[in-house]
Amino acid sequence: MQVLLSDEEASVVRTALRLREVASRLEGACYRTALFLWLYLKERFDVEGTAVVGYVNESISQAYASHAWFEFEGKRTDVALSRPLHPEHNPAGPLIVQGIELEPGHVYTYHRTMPEEGQKLLKALLEYPHFRPMLGSRKNTIGRLSLVSRMARCAESI
């Protein structure tokens, strides 16, 4: 199947794939890659995209982690979720460029705002004093997804 791309879409695809190639050791860098794509594509190719800061869910629990991706014409480009900082805790997601899954990965759902069940879980976890420092001290938000999932399972057993 041949897909015809506009010049702008082709610029997004080329830039995202090149970024992934050049930044092969760039794990857990969703904010940086989304913002880079937004700024570089705007300045270099006049592509009016959006760096989206939202949430992902790994479908194992009701935990949601902050995550960022790039969108152009309503199509998602996410080169970061396929390279998590802690793959031993967070399975690698698919490589998505302009809404097309180029490499398979663990299924994540994307959300622009945290759904109610995620807010309820976070509120419940914050009620346990021994969980508060862990939630606030981890710098990697995708790492928090695994942490919150484990904490949720722990809280359910209490």
Choice between 25 and 158, residue whose per-residue pLDDT is larger: 25
pLDDT of residue 135: 54
Residue 143 and residue 149 in contact, taking contact as beta carbons nearer than 8 Å? no
Confidence of residue 131 (pLDDT cuts 50, 70, 90): low
What is the pLDDT, as a whole number, of residue 66? 86
In the prediction, which pLDDT does 69 show?
Answer: 97
Of residues 113 and 127, more confidence is placed in 113
Q: Containing H/E element for 152?
A: helix 141-157
Alpha helix ranges (H) inside 1-140:
7-22, 30-45, 116-126, 132-137
Max CA separation in the chain (angstroms)? 56
For the entire predicted model, the pTM comes to: 0.78
